[in-house]
Amino acid sequence: MTGRQADSPPAPVAIRARAFAVHLLTALGAGLAFMALMAAVRGHWPAMFAWLGIALVVDAIDGPLARRLKVAQTLPNWSGDTLDLVVDFTTYVFVPAYAIAASGLLVPHLAPLAGIAIVISGALYFADLRMKTADNHFRGFPTLWNVAAFYLFLLRPSPWTATAVMALLVAATFLPIHVMHPVRTERLRVLNISLVVLGAALAAIAVMNDFYVSTPVTAVLCAIAAYVMLSDPIIRLIAKARR
Q: What is the pLDDT of residue 13?
A: 84
6 within domain boundaries: no
**Taking the complete model, does pTM exceed 0.85, yes or no?**
yes
pLDDT tens sequence across 78-102: 998 999 999 999 999 999 999 999 9
57 within domain boundaries: yes
Kindly tell me if the per-residue pLDDT of 10 is higher than 70. Answer: no
pLDDT tens sequence across 26-55: 999 999 999 999 999 999 999 999 999 999
C-alpha to C-alpha distances, 136 to 58, 108, 133, 189, nearest whole angstrom: 20, 38, 5, 11
- Range of the structural domain that residue 212 is part of: 13-238
Kindly tell me if the per-residue pLDDT of 5 is higher than 50. Answer: no
221 within domain boundaries: yes
Backbone phi, then psi, for 178, in 5-degree steps?
Answer: -115, 135
Q: What is the pLDDT of residue 6?
A: 46
Quote the CA–CA distance of 209 and 153 in Å, as a whole number.
Answer: 12
Q: Quickly state the pLDDT bin for 8 (edges 50, 70, 90).
A: low
Cα three-residue angle 11-79-19, rounded to 5 degrees: 35
Find all residues with CB under 8 Å of 155, minimum gap 6, and list them: 218, 222
7 within domain boundaries: no
164 within domain boundaries: yes
Contact yes or no for 166/100 (Cβ under 8 A): yes
Find all residues with CB under 8 Å of 200, minimum gap 6, and list them: 53, 56
1 within domain boundaries: no
Pairing of strands 137-139, 178-180: antiparallel
Spatial CA neighbour of 71 closest among 25, 18, 29? 18
Q: What is the pLDDT of residue 3?
A: 44
218 within domain boundaries: yes
pLDDT tens sequence across 113-149: 999 999 999 999 999 988 888 888 899 999 999 999 9
- Give me the mean pLDDT over the 156-183 stretch: 93
C-alpha to C-alpha distances, 38 to 28, 33, 84, 98, 189, nearest whole angstrom: 15, 9, 21, 11, 36
**Which residue did the predictor score with more confidence, 200 or 237?**
200
Kindly tell me if the per-residue pLDDT of 201 is higher than 90. Answer: yes
**Which residue did the predictor score with more confidence, 96 or 176?**
96
Q: Could you give the number of structural domains in the chain?
A: 1
Q: What is the pLDDT of residue 63?
A: 85
132 within domain boundaries: yes
Average pLDDT, the chain: 90
Q: Could you give the percent of the chain with pLDDT greater than 70?
A: 94
180 alpha carbon, distance to own chain's centre: 12
The CA-based dihedral angle spanning residues 222, 224, 225, 228, taken in that order and rounded to the nearest 10 degrees: 160
Kindly tell me if the per-residue pLDDT of 7 is higher than 60. Answer: no
Spatial CA neighbour of 92 closest among 125, 137, 129, 45? 125
Contact yes or no for 32/58 (Cβ under 8 A): yes
